[in-house]
Structure 1
Amino acid sequence: MSTVRQSGERKPAVGADAQEGQRATVKPSLSASLVLLAPLTSPTADGFDYRVLLLKRHAKSRTYDSAHVMPGGNIDPIDQDSTAWSSFFPSPAQDVQQLATDSSRLTAPELQALKLCALRETFEESGLLLLEPAEPSLVSSVAKKLLPSSLTGGAPIASPQQTWAALPVAKKLYWREEVHRDGKRFVDLLRSLGADAKPALSLLTHWSNWVTPTVLPRRFDTHFFIAVLPPSASPLATEGTGSGTTHEALVSSDGVETTSADWLTPAEGVRRALAYSYALAHGSPATSATAASAAQETPIILHPPQFNLLAELGQSHRSLRSLLDSSRSEQPMSGQMLVRPRRVYPFTPQVAAVTDDLGRKRRATVLPGDEVYKYDNAEDEHLSGPGQRNRTYVLPPLKGQQGLVVEGCMRQGVSRTLGFGWEDMTAGDHGSSSPKL
């Protein structure tokens, strides 16, 4: 998907729909993305105790140009190479097997490969390397050679994560460029940090699966994972202070695929996206009462998946605690906070002309669970019911535009069939009189 054009005539709302039967459906590319949350020790002005990492895509990028996205990308052959990972994971980890059974239609090897993809791409695009915590006694000989006792005060290095953190900036940049050049080098990087260095599969929870609509010429089958930045990667950042190492200092854009790395609260990301859509629709920044909260924000582009992911976090999870799995979180060894799994059903949006709850004719992408969604399999029709909503309202596209600009979204009644994590939520101009984010 690409950013909207600032000039040109708008296509009729039925333009994309009319083309659906004329173009062969393109098989989507398998990809993974990471929704990374950084804890804060005091709340933000808008009431959140965490921020979300968003990267701005380069203006000349082939996909999502100029848009803000979560780090991620297409799966690489190395992610699926069981032989290459056999020394790290002799068999898919137990938590991966369990999540594959509970949360989605993926097999354990498929889920492991996608997690590896998300972690590798996050490293390439942001420079953040997330590793499994290690027992304090497991100190690699490599780490001892890298860090003389004069730097550690004679204390042993507790983990590969600390070994990585202590490397010179130039060495980290070298590895980042190497992995970007060849995914196989990700394995080499891990081995260079010692025998106990493993990518942090246990940190990631499968959270959502979005598949590009069938009408588009370039498609992705993207699995989103969610994770809370562990203390081993960064001390907790205190809002409003500049002391110590914070989550902001841990990431940077790569200058090739991305041009900035931003930590935003979910509500801030939504407000800034609405400022963009309002300005595009009205030719000026938002000034009406309904868009007042967006009027003061610097506009950003969010496509429907990212907008929905932030909107649901913003409305249902202002505190990290509401997301956490109490049975797995705050483990004594690592202090990791692990997100509770939810059912993941593949969302392939269908572009449709709909009537919103205020009686207005609008263009929307409807998702499984919405009362007007059309299923390929009759066995899935139970997911929808009268009055249920799972849709994103979008502006009619400009000529030559690939991406869709979001006006608002609404989810209502979907938790009856999808369960925990799919509670009602609204954001932006969602076509009803219920509260907005």
Structure 2
Amino acid sequence: MAATSNPKAQGQVPRPSASVVIVNSRNEVLLVHRNPQARHFGGVHVFPGGNLDRNQDTSIAMTAIRETFEESGLLLASSSKSSTVLSDEFLDDSRAKIHSQKLNFQSFLSDHGLTPDIASLLPFTQWITPVNVPRRFHTQFYVTFLSASAGFSSGAKQDRIPKPNGGQEVVSARFLHPEDALAEFRAGKITFMPPQVYILQTLSEIFKSRQNMPAERERVQKLSSGPFGRMVINPRPLSAPDKDGRSILTYEGDETRGGSKGRLHRAQIKSGKGGISEMTLQRNFDVLTEIELHAFDTPCKFKL
């Protein structure tokens, strides 16, 4: 039986947004825990990111950098002045003003001789919310590798983390290895959305060590520059949830979505509070060498 769709959602244009998977020297990725009281994705763990702000962002990549700064305090930018040192207190104050629209992000960067590190952002798939979901987003995911000199380091260290007050969107942030993040998800300790599980599982198949190696970085870069990095994924429910609340989402390239017979590109999920409580990814092809391009539509462009 086909899943029923929300007529209002079908006519809704997905909102442009961006999210960044930040990888440190220990192959850990930065996850932020959204405020449980947040209007969207409350209580879910996600990569830093948010919606395009046409008053502040000149590109979707700028959205990714601005939102990362607002949500984690981590500024993906470099200074043209070697003598420029911005204190944590100043960065905290600036971040709060940018978040509350009292300070323009572009002005903040230019006033302090800062250049956003757009070139460091590696495209790592786009995702479009299914048509049966009330609020829809078109999200560009990126991966970037963090230098050892950045504000964050590893593990449980928490520098410049938003406090759970004043309407902040994030209550905590930490670095976790993809395998550890997936283990916590399977144990029910944290909640994700399908794109996070998909990307974390993809990275867990690459980051086999606990120290970032050149070969691992190279594989991520190859994925980014190849068909995988350009994939636009439009999940579609294959059927209504069963008696246990589990359902199947199919992705482009699945045998039901333009792929060859026997090709699986889908996930079995079980919805939970705010996100999903279970997800099993079924992908029986190599994402570096075996993506069937004919199964994917022309990549969508973001309108600024």
- TM norm. shorter chain > 0.5: yes
1:390 aligns with 2:265: yes
Q: Any idea what the Cα deviations from partners look like across 1:367-417, whole Å, max 9, x if unmatched?
A: 1111112xxxxxxx3xx111111111112x57xx76443331121126322
Structure 2 counterpart of 1:253, one-letter code = P
Quote the Cα distance in structure 2 between the aligned partners of 1:58 and 1:131. 26
**Aligned residue in 2 for 1:243:** none
Quote the Cα distance in structure 1 between the aligned partners of 2:121 and 2:102. 20
Relative to structure 1, the CA distance from residue 121 to residue 80 in structure 2 (aligned partners, 3 Å threshold; closer, same or farther) is closer
Relative to structure 1, the CA distance from residue 224 to residue 315 in structure 2 (aligned partners, 3 Å threshold; closer, same or farther) is same
**Aligned residue in 2 for 1:44:** none
Q: Any idea what the Cα deviations from partners look like across 1:326-353, whole Å, max 9, x if unmatched?
A: 9xx9xxxxxxx99853321210100113
Please give the secondary structure, in 1, of the residue aligned with 2:281.
strand
Quote the Cα distance in structure 1 between the aligned partners of 2:75 and 2:291. 36
Cα offset for 1:76?
A: 0.5
Quote the Cα distance in structure 2 between the aligned partners of 1:71 and 1:316. 21
**Aligned residue in 1 for 2:39:** 62
Quote the Cα distance in structure 2 between the aligned partners of 1:387 and 1:131. 45
* TM-score when normalising by structure 2: 0.81
8 Å Cα contact 1:273-1:300 kept in structure 2: yes
Structure with the higher strand share, 1 or 2: 2
**Aligned residue in 2 for 1:307:** 197
8 Å Cα contact 1:133-1:232 kept in structure 2: no
**Aligned residue in 2 for 1:283:** none
Q: Any idea what the Cα deviations from partners look like across 1:13-54, whole Å, max 9, x if unmatched?
A: x6x8123568643111000000001113xxxxxxxxx21100
**Aligned residue in 2 for 1:115:** 61
1:273 aligns with 2:185: yes
Query: Of 154, 157, 167, which residue of structure 2 is paired with 1:248?
Result: 157
Relative to structure 1, the CA distance from residue 78 to residue 325 in structure 2 (aligned partners, 3 Å threshold; closer, same or farther) is farther
Relative to structure 1, the CA distance from residue 126 to residue 338 in structure 2 (aligned partners, 3 Å threshold; closer, same or farther) is farther
**Aligned residue in 2 for 1:10:** none
Q: What residue ranges of structure 1 are gaps of 5+ in the alignment?
A: 1-13, 41-49, 82-112, 140-156, 240-246, 277-298, 330-336, 355-360, 374-380, 420-437
**Aligned residue in 1 for 2:217:** 324
Structure 2 counterpart of 1:176, one-letter code = R
Please give the secondary structure, in 1, of the residue aligned with 2:225.
coil
8 Å Cα contact 2:15-2:138 kept in structure 1: yes
Please give the secondary structure, in 2, of the residue aligned with 1:410.
strand
8 Å Cα contact 1:205-1:339 kept in structure 2: no
Quote the Cα distance in structure 1 between the aligned partners of 2:16 and 2:89. 32
Relative to structure 1, the CA distance from residue 345 to residue 407 in structure 2 (aligned partners, 3 Å threshold; closer, same or farther) is closer
Output the aligned Cα RMSD: 3.0
Quote the Cα distance in structure 1 between the aligned partners of 2:162 and 2:152. 21
Please give the secondary structure, in 2, of the residue aligned with 1:31.
strand
**Aligned residue in 1 for 2:280:** 408
8 Å Cα contact 1:371-1:385 kept in structure 2: yes
Q: Percent identity?
A: 25
TM alignment of 1:35-434, pairs within 5 A: 35-40=21-26, 50-81=27-58, 113-132=59-78, 134=80, 138-139=81-82, 157=83, 160=84, 163-164=85-86, 167=87, 169-182=88-101, 185-194=104-113, 197-234=114-151, 248-255=157-164, 256-276=168-188, 299-319=189-209, 320=212, 321-325=214-218, 341-343=225-227, 344-353=230-239, 363-373=247-257, 381=258, 384-395=259-270, 397=271, 403-413=275-285, 415=287, 416-417=290-291
Cα offset for 1:225?
A: 0.6
Please give the secondary structure, in 1, of the residue aligned with 2:261.
coil
8 Å Cα contact 2:71-2:170 kept in structure 1: yes
Quote the Cα distance in structure 2 between the aligned partners of 1:74 and 1:235. 23
Quote the Cα distance in structure 1 between the aligned partners of 2:274 and 2:130. 11
Quote the Cα distance in structure 2 between the aligned partners of 1:366 and 1:204. 27
Quote the Cα distance in structure 2 between the aligned partners of 1:313 and 1:389. 19
8 Å Cα contact 1:74-1:117 kept in structure 2: yes
Structure with the higher helix share, 1 or 2: 1
Higher Cα Rg, which structure? 1
Structure 1 counterpart of 2:252, one-letter code = P
Quote the Cα distance in structure 2 between the aligned partners of 1:183 and 1:345. 36
Q: Any idea what the Cα deviations from partners look like across 1:107-144, whole Å, max 9, x if unmatched?
A: xxxxxx1111001000000111111365xxx54xxxxx
8 Å Cα contact 2:24-2:145 kept in structure 1: yes
* TM-score when normalising by structure 1: 0.58
Q: What residue ranges of structure 2 are gaps of 5+ in the alignment?
A: 294-304
Structure 1 counterpart of 2:60, one-letter code = L
